[in-house]
Amino acid sequence: MKAFKINEKSKIKSGFLIPDTYFDDFSKQILSQLPDKEISTIPLLKRNKTLLFSIAAMLVIALFLPIFNQFLSNSEELDTTTIENHLTYQNDITTYELISELEDEDLNKIGTTTELKDETIEDILTTNSDLEKLIIE
């Protein structure tokens, strides 16, 4: 194979010829072909501004609703089941401590106005096998 030398061989000339001043006036020619009127663009936020504000308002309401609900709820009142469970599982609370915490209104609510007949008391005492326990209490 022969050694190929680029600089020594004759080169093929291109079939396209460019005038000498073509690139000097190129930018002027392109700008003259563009339309004079600019295309106006519509911004996305301007068109849907009310939609954007309504979504933001709903999001704020949804996030702060649990917080407002917590502030408005009356946290001083406890469930009766919670109180009953607490009293049931606290072994060190005596009946005297419970009575000392009750107010007069509570004691009036607790007080019973029903009278027991002698017959019912006798029936309870005869049928109850834990009579000694009742006497001790």
Q: What is the 3-state secondary structure (H, E, C) of 4-72?
A: CCCCCCCCCCCCCCCCCCCCCCHHHHHHHHCCCCCCCCCCHHHHCHHHHHHHHHHHHHHHHHHHHHHHH
Backbone angles phi, psi at 38, to 5 degrees: -85, 145
pLDDT of 25 above 90: no
pLDDT of 21 above 90: no
Cα–Cα distance measured from residue 119 to residue 127, given in angstroms and rounded to the nearest whole number:
12
pLDDT of 31 above 90: no
Cα–Cα distance measured from residue 124 to residue 137, given in angstroms and rounded to the nearest whole number:
16
Q: What is the mean pLDDT of residues 51-63?
A: 90
State whether the Cα torsion 68-69-71-72 is positive or negative: positive
- The residues spanned by each domain of the chain are 75-110
Would you say the pTM of this structure is higher than 0.85? Answer: no
Residues above pLDDT 90, as percent of the chain: 6
pLDDT of 79 above 70: yes
Can you give the pLDDT at residue 62?
92
In tens, the pLDDT along 98-135 reads 778 777 777 777 766 667 788 888 888 788 777 777 67
Of the two residues 120 and 2, the one the predictor is more confident about is: 120
pLDDT of 53 above 90: no
